[in-house]
Structure 1
Amino acid sequence: MRTLTRSVSDASPFAQRLDAGRVIAIGVALLGIASAVLIAQAIGNWHFGLGFLIGFGVVIAIALVAGRASGRSRIARGGDTDRALIRAALDIGQEPVAITDRAGRLLFANRAYLDRFGPSAVPPDMPGLAVESEAIADVGTEAWRDGAAEMLMGPTGIRLSAQRVGTGEDHLLWRVSDGRGGLRDQAAALIGGGFGDRLGRVGLMVALADERGRVLAANRVFAARALGAAGASVEGRDFTALLGQTEQGALRFAREEGRDPLRLLHVPLEGDDAARGAALMLLFDDPGDPSALAAAAATKPSDVYDLLGMLPLGLALVDRDGRFLFLNAAFARAAGIAEEERPIYPGDLVVKEDKAAVADAVRRFAGSKPPTALAGQSPILSGDIAVRLARRPEEAVSLTVASARGLGPAAVLLSLKDSGEETRLKRQVNQANKMQAVGQLAGGIAHDFNNILTALIGHCDLMLMRHTPGDSDYDDIHQIRHNANRAAGLTRQLLAFSRQQTLRPQTLQLPDVVSEVSNLLKRLLGDKTHLEISHGRALGAVRADPGQLEQVIVNLAVNARDAMPDGGTITVRTYSVSAAEVRRLGSDILPIGDYTALSVTDTGTGIAPADLPKIFEPFFTTKEVGKGTGLGLSTVYGIVKQSGGFIFADSELGRGTSFVIYLPVFEGAAAPEAVVERDKPAPALWGSGSILVVEDEDMVRSVAERALTRQGYQVRTAANGEEGLEVLAQVTAEGGHFDLLISDVMMPSMDGPTMAGLARERFPRLPVLFMSGYAEEQLRKSISLENISFLPKPFSVQQLAEAARDALGRSEAR
């Protein structure tokens, strides 16, 4: 670890006090010299003045020496007191914690750190984390530079952090958190560290074996007994190859002869997928003398109970009659047992339907012989049963039943893992998969529906061209077109949820967006709802579609209004969130960086905890039938995610709800604002030229052909990409040409970009106008062509004519 040069601000208070002492000493010395000169001049005797100066200096020197000695004594006493306090404070925590100085020396470590890594382990060289030593060293360097740093060690989920601490910030506080670390990794770290050494001191040999019987970790006593050499490593060896049998069939180490036999306790690890199939192997000497065996049996249960109580696994012992003898805290927590409760039988923990299965399994494994799968096969050491706990009957859990022999009255070992966190993570993954599937479905439906709406709106526009407002059919046609536009808005919401809508991102300030929509909000909220708006200072610019952000704010405000039927207050606030603040939040979802946040808070009824995880799902609503589509919040979610942001909801029944949106600060240069020439008339939609329209939907192709023909263009059509290339080649062979190619993006056999790329090989300057119901941003990423335009579906006849005119105009300008 590199040692960084300390600045003046990093100096310790003691050093600062020394500097101040020097200044005072110099001042006193100058004062003494001046006094001696004045006295000598006053009495006219310079020898007397010199003697006064020497005496004054001796007195000051004695005072400084006494003060420095007293200060060192106080500092020494204070340092001893600080060390005792630090050790006591560190031992309170359950996570490994250590403190190092600038030279990288280990000054303090709590019991958890010593158990896991040993007394001589100094970051970055810690047993079990040696492969990450370079990365750990980088964490230390970054912490010295920035004040704090952390890292997540791959799939193990071990999180290591370092932070500058102390009055002078000249120490590093290291913390190791298992995070998402698997049960097998935690067990291996405990066995191979100081905890395994403590077990060895009481004569207990421990090894962790995987599903194939290979040793993953073992304490030093096990390794020394199995291999006959102190400090030897058994990792990777076959566990069964290390053991043998005596002539009487008792268990022993293969290399040992004439030693007392061993007793083996098999503890399966059942939790996460990484631990499945692994097991703890606990061995201890079993003396052959009957009296010694009786004495050992008399003391063994308490020793085993202490051991099981220290393990992080949910373990319990049951006697031959099926009654509980012991259960540790982890087992009680996993089964939902309160401290004052004491179940008698394992069947008391499960629902009525599973009682018989649990009692049968306990009886089989408590028998005189372990159960066998088939006649002639070796005994089964353990088995799993899927049961439902009485406290949590909605989800099944796995109960492991194993035979426990040689433990006095205990006959069966039960293992149950607290799967609450695992269940929550599985539910979140299932929810994310469901949301993704629904989003893909919504996007596909919206794309197909946009084709229908394009044809519907286009035919309405063509019919309105032949009718005037006084005609009998005019109002009916106009009403059909109005409803088609409403349906188009619904498809935009579906595309927003699936993050496939077309956005027009701009560099903007959130307060400007809020100001634009504030007047609309006041009209929507009504008189009973009070709106408060506040803006923070020094807000970073964000890049998003201002129109879509306005929709986000309106949807959140309308939902807040509906949650306050008797009125209340809605607070809209913008503020900046720095990377340091994000780091302090400790969110696993929000990446560390600078954000500009927008919060919408109400004082309404709140959201029920059971409904909170579902609020962003499409069509989920708690409103009455006919009062909500359930697409408001899903639209908000889609717009925020497509803009690169994050949204979080926090609610408490009866206290209100708060939605917070984090948008990353945009670091690029702001785009220049477009200059609008208000006095310049809009150009006419009429034009001339030859256009090729390629569209696989007959209705859309017909509308496009009729609309462009009405505007004065010569139009040829094709039903797919291959036909479009044939028409292009045919017209070229006849001596003609096309001024514009209009094509759908998604078509069977050959899509639009592929066809346009082949056409550009022969006609490099041919302008292309793509039309599609998918997001323009996504399509542009997959299209490597230049000089292309985009028209989102559904579109009107006028929008199609404007897009064609603009595409031709850009081509002429080039």
Structure 2
Amino acid sequence: MIETQDRQAERRLKQRPQAQRIGDAPTAVAHGAGSSGIAAARAGVLPDVMFLQPDTRRAGATDDRSTVNDDRAARDRHIATGLVLLGGSFAAASFLTPNGWSLFFASIGATLLTLFPLRIVLQWIGRWVLQLHVARMGRYLDGDPTPCFVTDRSNALHYMNNAARQQGRWQSARSLSEAVSDIFANPNAILDRLKAQADKVGVAEEEAITRQGYLRLSVHRQPRVGYLWRLEDRGIGPARQRSGAGLPMLTIGRGNTILFMNEAARDFCGARPNALEEVFPDPPTTSGRFAVALSQAGPRNCLAHFVEQSMGRREIYFLPMMDGDGLSQGGVGDGALDLLPLAILRLDGKGRILGANHAAQSLLQIEPDLPCYLGDTLEGPGRDVREWLALALSDSAPTKSEFLRVKGHTDDLFVQVSLCQIEQSEGRRLLAVLSDATMIKSLEDQFAQSQKMQAVGELAGGIAHDFNNLLTAISGHCDLLLRHRVEDDKDFSDLMQIRQNSNRAAALVGQLLAFSRKQTLRPEVMGLRDVLSELAHLLNRLVGERVTLSLKVDPDIHNLRADRRQLEQVMMNLVVNARDAMNGQGQIDINAGNQKVAAPLVRDHVTVPAGDYLVIEVEDGGCGIAPDKLQKVFEPFYTTKGPGKGTGLGLSTVYGIVKQSGGFVFVDSIVGEGTRFTLMFPAAFEAAVTRKTETVSPATSVTGAGTILMVEDEAPVRAFTARALQLSGFKVVEACCAEEALELLSDEALTVDLFLTDVIMPGMDGPTWVREALKTRPGVPVVFVSGYAEDALQDSRHEFAQAQFLPKPFTLDELTETVQNQMR
């Protein structure tokens, strides 16, 4: 017959000597209780062992091991007494009432009297089951050298192990709150908070710093038992383990309260300060900075370093300096400097490295015994290193820190180097403090790149505006001449050439506006598969017969929100650029799919926020782009093609459209192998807009009637616009500025059916004067024209919701149709 585990454990226990059975647990268990035993207790998966009966308790043990709150026992006694009295009262009432009610009162009394013994039995069973589990857990916890406690939700103590009982101060404690009252100022609040956290995640802990060192109170939720608590003495703690090195150190908590000072810090300060401001009137905020500290000998300049700890605590190490920024000789040597994770170098006037702590050796990858100069490990723009060192050794104004690049690293690693003087027996030397500044340098480069692109964009936008005004006049007067020409006229072809080249110039201006992100977009939710399918035929014609175009789109690809026409322009520009890079033969791969960015992605000085994205890759097998030219390919008028083979606006247009659409564009290239452009657009989870089939109707001559007040500061544009409208049947009143227009409107006899105005003008702009005019002439329709994008009206768009916008350059037909539609 197979024995159960409880039977086997009981038989083995009886076979052991009595001293061991009623004494400590076996040696293997005692030594492992802090690891495997407590781990099993935490997990609540304890092996089946024989629980301790009351008659097997250790000699000298008291009932502290299973103490129950006296208040709870008193409450139970009161409830039991009430049940007995109430049941007896109903039983007695059954003899004093008529026969109809005597049975009713007798049954109630019998029920209440029955509940009394039933409650006693249930309480006894509950306590017996609790003692069973606690006893089984105690067989493992008694070997743990860390004080352990088992409590219920009310913090009443049900058990404490040997390590806890050996602490005399806890023998009389009836609750855990009472036991830890000398450690925590508000024990009930802390215990309740830890229990609440343990109820959620199973475990919680709290640290405390006392005169004896660090203490950690941890709690583990135990089913069927309650809570298992461990009060771990962490000894002198990590701070005190380093406190004997001679380097002053403070441990501060939230609110800059000083929690601990090592011996060197107490010698430095003299008195026992309570707050960091009592040591540093202007506390340092970052590592590697100098700050004035109040020592018992007076104010001293110190080099500070922070080490972040748990629970909002920080350790501050500070290196005292002598007057005149010399290094203190008060027992702080190389051993103390090695404790700092901050990289520190000692230099002579020529930049030779005389000494480096461990952090500096690791950062710069230098050997401690090999001769080395600062210029051999760091490089950067700006002044010469020797000039900088000589200035630092002089008694002139303090030197500023420099941002330098560490040589020998595959990735760009930048450090901020600060210099100060030190006095040593060999003479005056320099102390160099190196702080990691890679992130700061990356942010600076990112800001500089964005500022450059913004400046070029503003320039491009301004040029586009001026060109649009000129092109409006050129193409407009060309249209006026073509109204009276037929194909047989000898000057018809010349006029068509002027018109076609004006359109080409307008397309180039549109690309400038795209780069400057000031073009007008008409975004819509669309399916990329449909867009690329419709565009595939045109792309195949663009690449030619010797280039293979491969198109792969994920069938479950997200929708995106963008301007369809501009997205098609982006794809055409990238494909044409890829075709030219392969000299007209090879393969171009277009791949599109979904990508989820779990954490912010930093690439090429740009941060892509976390989220769902639609990714398009256009890859070729062409000549590639050199690394030093990659960051310039998106700049306008920059091209790697030969003279006359490119305008330098194709990729800048791609950059502008993608950015204006809320996306990102990256480029990877290997010389001789090819280039890949990656577009990332935020996913749109709305349904795609169904496009209506457009029907083309034959052009008709547009005529109209009415008076138009036209305001335009450019004389050529004003002349063409006025003549075009007059030829279409409108009466035109011209004004060269907003002020003149308002003066004309002061004549009440003047009837105006429409305002036609430029947006950006010297003095009062278009929206401003229209706003004033509508106060006296409400309801007059408005048409705004501008060489800038419609964004110029962004601040006033809500005021002129019914207004029409006509971008320059516009044709004669576009002008008359827009005016006619607005006057209907």
Secondary structure at the aligned position of 1:647 is classed as strand
> Which residue of structure 1 aligns with residue 787 of structure 2?
773
Determine the C-alpha separation between the residues in 1 that align with 2:271 and 2:507.
77
How big is the shift at 1:372?
4.2
The one of 811, 817, 822 aligned to 1:796: 811
The CA distance in 2 between the partners of 1:804 and 1:684, in whole Å, is 13
Which residue number in structure 1 is paired with residue 773 of structure 2? 759
Say if 2:250 is the partner of 1:232: no
Matches within 5 A, 1:529-678: 529-565=547-583, 567-578=585-596, 581-583=597-599, 585=601, 589-667=607-685, 673-674=691-692, 676=694
Pick aligned residue for 2:536 from 510, 518, 536: 518
Matches within 5 A, 1:366-765: 372-373=395-396, 383=399, 400-405=418-423, 411-417=429-435, 421-565=439-583, 567-578=585-596, 581-583=597-599, 585=601, 589-667=607-685, 673-674=691-692, 676=694, 684-730=701-747, 733-734=748-749, 737-765=751-779
Partner of 1:343: 371
Change (3 A) 1:621 1:420: farther
CA gap of 1:430–1:318, structure 2 versus 1, over 3 A, is closer
Question: d(CA) in 1 for partners of 2:507 and 2:424?
Answer: 73
Residues 428 and 801 of structure 1: CA distance in aligned 2, closer, same or farther (over 3 Å)? same
Taking a change above 3 Å as real, the CA distance of residues 81 and 470 of structure 1, as seen in their structure-2 partners, is farther
C-alpha distance 332-566 of structure 1, shift in aligned 2 (>3 A): farther
How many pairs were matched up?
583
Root-mean-square deviation (CA), in Å? 4.8
3-state SS of 2:676 partner: strand
Residues 440 and 498 in structure 1, CA contact (< 8 A), matched pair in contact too: yes
Instruction: Work out whether 1:62 is the aligned partner of 2:4.
Output: yes
**8 A Cα contact 2:378 2:404, kept in partner:** yes
Q: Distance in 1 between matches of 2:389 and 2:600?
A: 49
Aligned twin of 1:177: none
Rounded to whole Å, the distance in 2 between the matches of 1:197 and 1:324 is 32
Which residue is equivalent to 2:319?
282
1:624-647 per-residue CA deviation (whole Å, 9 max, x = no partner) reads 222122111111011111112222
Q: 1:714 to 1:315 in 2, by over 3 A?
A: same
Q: 1:220 aligns with which of 249, 258, 261?
A: 261
Structure 2 CA distance for partners of 1:592 and 1:453, relative to 1, 3 Å: same
Change (3 A) 1:283 1:476: closer
**Given residue 234 of structure 1, which amino acid in structure 2 is its aligned partner?**
L
What is the percent sequence identity of the aligned residues? 38
**Paired AA for residue 576 in structure 2:** V
Change (3 A) 1:66 1:268: closer
Which blocks of at least 5 consecutive residues in structure 1 are unaligned? 1-58, 84-102, 104-136, 145-192, 210-214, 242-250, 256-260, 271-278, 286-295, 366-370, 374-379, 810-814
Q: Which residue is equivalent to 1:189?
A: none
Preserved contact between residue 600 and residue 658 of structure 1 (Cα < 8 Å) = yes
Distance in 1 between the 2:745 and 2:731 partners? 14
CA contact (8 A) 2:617 2:679 kept: yes
Q: Please list the CA deviations of residues 49-102 of structure 1 after superposition, one character each: whole Å capped at 9, or x if unmatched.
A: xxxxxxxxxx699389989x9xx999x95996999xxxxxxxxxxxxxxxxxxx
Please give the alpha-carbon distance, in whole angstroms, between the structure 1 residues aligned to 2:505 and 2:41: 71
Which residue number corresponds to residue 821 of structure 2? Answer: 806
Partners of 2:709 and 2:293 lie apart in 1 by: 87
Question: Which residue in the other structure is 1:245 paired with?
Answer: none
Residues 638 and 284 (structure 1), Cα distance of their counterparts in 2 relative to 1, 3 Å cut: closer
Q: Which residue of 2 aligns with 1:326?
A: 355
> Is residue 2:242 matched to residue 1:199?
yes
CA contact (8 A) 1:443 1:498 kept: yes
> Deviation of residue 659 (structure 1)?
1.7
Task: Give 1:41-52 correspondences, 5 Å limit.
Answer: none
Using the TM superposition, give the Cα deviation of residue 504 of structure 1 relative to its aligned residue in structure 2, in angstroms.
Answer: 2.0
What is the deviation of 1:739?
A: 2.3
**Partner amino acid, structure 2, of 1:658:** R
CA deviations on 1:662-712 (whole Å, 9 max, x unpaired) are 22233556556446456x666641222222211111111111111111112
1:29 equivalent in structure 2: none
Find the aligned partners of 1:322 and 1:475 in 2 and give their Cα distance: 75
Distance 1:708 1:746 in 2: 21
* 8 Å CA contact retained: 2:735, 2:741: yes
How many Å apart are 1:446 and its aligned residue?
Answer: 0.6
Higher Cα Rg, which structure: 2
Structure 2 match to 1:785 = 800
Structure 1 residues 207 and 436: CA distance shift in structure 2, 3 A? farther
Secondary structure of residue in 2 paired with 1:771 = strand
What amino acid maps onto 1:762 in structure 2?
Answer: T
User: How far does residue 316 in structure 1 lie from its aligned partner after superposition?
Assistant: 1.4
Distance 1:322 1:643, change over 3 A: closer
Name the SS of the counterpart of 1:626 in structure 2: coil
Residue 551 (structure 1) shift: 0.6
Q: In terms of mean alpha carbon deviation, does 588-597 or 436-445 score higher?
A: 588-597
Partner residue in 1 for 2:342: 313
Q: Contact between 1:694 and 1:721, CA under 8 Å: does it hold in 2? A: yes
CA–CA distance in structure 1, aligned partners of residues 613 and 385 of structure 2:
54
Q: Which runs of 5+ in 2 are unaligned?
A: 12-28, 43-152, 154-193, 202-235, 284-291, 307-315, 323-327
Take 1:387 and 1:505, find their aligned partners in 2: how far apart are those partners?
44
* Compared CA separation, residues 319 and 449, structure 1 to 2 (3 A): closer
Offset at 1:766? 1.3
1:95-143 C-alpha deviation (Å, 9 max, x unpaired): xxxxxxxx9xxxxxxxxxxxxxxxxxxxxxxxxxxxxxxxxx9xx99x9
The more displaced of 222-231 and 736-745 is 222-231
The equivalences for 1:162-311 within 5 A come to 197-206=240-249, 220-221=261-262, 224-225=266-267, 232-235=274-277, 237-238=279-280, 266-267=302-303, 281-283=318-320, 304-311=333-340
Question: What amino acid sits opposite 2:344 in the alignment?
Answer: L
SS in 1 for 2:618: strand
After superposition, the C-alpha distances for 1:756-804 in whole angstroms (9 at most, x for unaligned) are: 2222223332111111122224524433223111111000111111111
The SS at the match of 2:4 is helix
Pair 1:321–1:227, CA change in 2 (3 A): closer
Q: Is the 8 A contact 1:218 1:235 kept in 2?
A: no
1:462 to partner: Cα distance = 0.5
SS in structure 2 at match of 1:610: helix
**Deviation by residue 1:317-363 (Cα, 9 ceiling, x = unmatched):** 247998543224654577x665599334557668999475367468x
In 2: Cα distance, 1:681 partner to 1:482 partner = 21
Q: Which amino acid aligns with 1:604?
A: G
Name the SS for the 2:819 alignment partner: helix
